[in-house]
Structure 1
């Protein structure tokens, strides 16, 4: 009988451990997804800046699009 109780306690401990690990994996997955979204956004911004720099370089250094306050 004691052996059954020990086995049951071990199984319960493993089930709890798996539940915590599943939650940790889900949290990490959400974090990675957010980071990739931000990474993609930053890559688009960098590409836009490179395009603006190239445009300025091709126009002889003049600002092609003037800021709204001009």
Structure 2
């Protein structure tokens, strides 16, 4: 009977640690999801800006070059 009680305590301890680990992993996943959403939003804004610059260049606007700024 004592072995059964020891095994039960061992299982309860393992479950408690697993629940804690699951909670920690959930927090990491939640943060990563928020980060991904923010990065996707920024990427959409950058893509829109690139499209606007390309259209402006095609319409006879300033030419966009890949020259280094003078402070380099």
Q: Cα RMSD over matched residues? A: 1.5
Separation of aligned partners in 2, 1:29 and 1:57:
42
Q: State the TM-score, normalized to the length of structure 2.
A: 0.79
Counterpart of 2:47? 50
Q: Which runs of 4 or more aligned residues in structure 1 lie more than 3 Å from their structure 2 counterparts after TM superposition?
A: none
TM-superposed deviation, 1:46 = 0.4
- Map Cα deviations across residues 37-64 of structure 1 (whole Å, 9 max, x no partner): 00000000000000000000011164xx
Q: State the TM-score, normalized to the length of structure 1.
A: 0.81
* Unaligned segments of structure 2, at least 5 residues: 63-72
Counterpart secondary structure, 2:23: helix
Counterpart of 1:66? none
RCO higher in 1 or 2 (8 Å CA, sep ≥ 6)?
A: 1
